[in-house]
Every structure is written in structure tokens, then in C-alpha cells.
Chains A and B, each alone.
Chain A
Amino acid sequence: GENVEQHPSTLSVQEGDSAVIKCTYSDSASNYFPWYKQELGKRPQLIIDIRSNVGEKKDQRIAVTLNKTAKHFSLHITETQPEDSAVYFCAASRGGGSNYKLTFGKGTLLTVNP
């Protein structure tokens, strides 16, 4: 089955700096890669996703890049703010089909220091 590795497990940055979280996946058939943000005590929320037919997607201060050849994808947060502090999870799936499942990375605790 699919295996997703996520690094780093913790990341601390100063407000205004950029943050990068990286994930690798094992199943070359995976074609959908979402990122979730989970604030303390809350549910994970989808913040951005990318499909294998594109290499980059951006939404204001967050962007995701995908390298299918190397089987890795990354989340980039620019101009970080204290409210960006949370646990971020990457995930991968083959997409579609009745047995659709996401395989999650173990998460990255991002702390943005004022």
C-alpha cells in the first residue's frame, strides 16, 4: 500500500518568515495530494490540494509543489503569521474508485513566534 513520509516533525519560525514542509510518497499511481491544517483541539481542515496533472498550485500565502518523478510534494507558507501555528498533515491517494482512501503523513507541528 501507499506510504507517506513527512518532514520535519516540528518547525519553528519567526513571524514573517517562510515555512516549508515536505512529503514523499511510495505509490507511483497516487494522483491526489491534499494538505490539512489542524488547530489544537479542532478537526483537520483542508487548506490546499494538488493533482498529478499540475506541478504547482497557489492560494494567497500558501502554495504546494509536486514532483511526480521524485514522488515528493511540499507545502510552502510565506509571510507566516501566529495564526498559522498548527499541525499540518499531508496525504496521498489514487483518487476515485469505490475504495477511495487517503494515506496521511504523521504531521508537522508548526510554531510561528511573534
Chain B
Amino acid sequence: SQTIHQWPATLVQPVGSPLSLECTVEGTSNPNLYWYRQAAGRGLQLLFYSVGIGQISSEVPQNLSASRPQDRQFILSSKKLLLSDSGFYLCACRRVLRGSGGDTQYFGPGTRLTVL
């Protein structure tokens, strides 16, 4: 079965510093991968998704970027963090559901980012 890893688990960064969050997936190949952000007490905002190596779709314009250098690796980056970038960053993977004839998304454990 699929396992999603996210690193680091928590991060405190000063405003204006760079950011790199990593998501890796085991147990599948060529998965669709997604980055979500969740501000405190808020819903899930889709930031980027990727259907393959080097293929990135951006959902919301902002100072973040994403890259997919390998099949099972998805990276979220920023050159200069803003206070508003604080939140819970979740990586998700598309998974085919056996028996139900469809697919869904499963989430990684998340990275909690605080920008001071």
C-alpha cells in the first residue's frame, strides 16, 4: 500500500527566508501528487498538483512554487517567506480504490510551518 512521507514535521522560519518542504511516496508509481495549505482553523486550499515528473499545475498565484524532480518526490519551495505563509502543509497522493471503480486522495502527515 502507499505511504506518504513529509519532511520536516515542523518548521519555524523568519520572514524573508527561503523554504523547501519535501514529500515522498512509497508503494506506487507515477502517482498524481498534490500540495495543500491549511491556515489555522480553516479549510484545505489546493496549491499545486502534478501528474508526472516536471509537470506542475498551479491553482493559486502566490510566492510559492513546486517541483517534481523524481516520480515519487514532490517539493514545495519559496524564495522569501511571508507571514501569511504560515500554516499546515499537506501532501496528498491519488490512489485507485479497488472494488469501487474509482480513485481518491490520501494525505501525508503534514508539515506545520510558522513564519515569524
Binding site for B on A (CB under 8 A): 31-32, 34, 36, 41-46, 49, 51, 89, 95-96, 98-102, 104-107
Contacts and interface: CB of A to CB of B under 8 A. Distances in A.
A107 B43 contact: yes
B57 A102 contact: no
B33 to A, nearest CB: 11
Given A100-B32, A101-B49, A44 B102 contact: no
A8 B43 CA distance: 14
Interface of B: 32, 34, 42-44, 46, 49, 51, 57, 90, 94, 97, 100-110, 112
Interface of B is mostly: strand
Tell me the interface secondary structure of chain A in the complex: loop
Given A51-B100, A96-B102, 12 more contacts: A32-B104, A42-B109, A43-B107, A45-B107, A89-B43, A100-B32, A101-B34, A102-B105, A105-B43, A107-B42, A107-B43, A107-B44
B102 A101 contact: no
Contacts of A42: 109-110
B106 to A, nearest CB: 7
Q: Which 10 pairs between the two chains have the least Cβ-Cβ distance?
A: A43-B107, A106-B43, A104-B44, A98-B51, A107-B43, A95-B102, A44-B107, A43-B110, A34-B104, A32-B102
B109 A43 contact: yes
A102 B103 CA distance: 11
B103 A95 contact: yes
Contacts of B49: 99, 101
